[in-house]
Amino acid sequence: MPGKKNDNPYIEEKNWTHVRKIVGYDRLDTIDEIEILNDLYAEPLQLYINFFQPVMRLKTKQRVRGRLKKDI
């Protein structure tokens, strides 16, 4: 689709949930809050997501009688 700006939806979807779980939905706009957030993203959050959060990858996807069957 031309004009669609969603280049990498799967990664964005996975990262969005982690950020919202850790940070919440409040607005963070002061310099101090931004520095704390940058320090959190620099290493601790990245290590937590990469090594301690399970990820299930889809092996196959088949259409059976008009429905999708997903094998994990």
Question: Which structural domain, as residue segments, surrounds residue 53?
Answer: 9-71
Give the predicted TM-score (pTM) of the model: 0.45
Grade residue 10 by pLDDT with cuts at 50, 70 and 90: low
Domain assignment present for 2: no
Domain assignment present for 3: no
Instruction: Determine the pLDDT at residue 45.
Output: 80
Q: What is the DSSP string of 11-57?
A: HHHHHHHHHHHHH-SS---SHHHHHHHHHHHHTHHHHHHHHHS--PP
Instruction: Determine the pLDDT at residue 25.
Output: 79
The number of distinct structural domains making up the chain is: 1
Instruction: Determine the pLDDT at residue 31.
Output: 92
Asked whether residue 36 carries a pLDDT value surpassing 80, the answer given is yes
